Amino acid sequence: MARILVCEDSALPDGEAIKVEAPGEAVAVFRSNGDVYALADRCSHGNASMSEGYVEDDGTVECPLHAARFCLKTGAALCQPATEALRTFPVAVVEGKIYVDVPEAA
Ligand code: FES
């Protein structure tokens, strides 16, 4: 695993998301109800950036393109048109900074 710096903890307000480029794929990092989550940035249904989606109070994010919703915690697809889950990544908040752990580049 490689640990990638996302941003200062204070730079990600509740209900917002930020995209980071990781080796192999982009990752979308979200904050919802104070907790931080990381999912694959590309929607499993099409070519949409989940970091541009709508973070809901119920711990989900809605795709900006066709409105599929995904669980921020598990990545599960919760409604059509998406049927496949988004990959999840571990996150850590250390000394005021948010990090995401991603697999090493092949
Ligand atoms: S691209 Fe996300 S629901 Fe279609």
pLDDT of residue 106: 61
Q: How far apart are CA 76 and CA 6, in angstroms?
A: 23
pLDDT of residue 24: 85
Supply the pTM of this predicted model. 0.95
Q: How far apart are CA 27 and CA 89, in angstroms?
A: 8
The pLDDT tens digits for 5-25 are 999 999 999 999 999 999 889
In the predicted model, what is the mean pLDDT of residues 43-61?
97
Mutate to test the pocket of ligand 1, among 39, 45, 62 (most ligand atoms within 8 A of CB): 45
Atom nearest to 43 CA in ligand 1: 2
> Quick one: fold of 2-102?
Rieske Iron-sulfur Protein (2.102.10)
Average pLDDT value for the chain: 96
pLDDT of residue 1: 87
Contact present, 6 and 98 (Cβ < 8 Å): yes
* Residue 84: DSSP 8-state: S
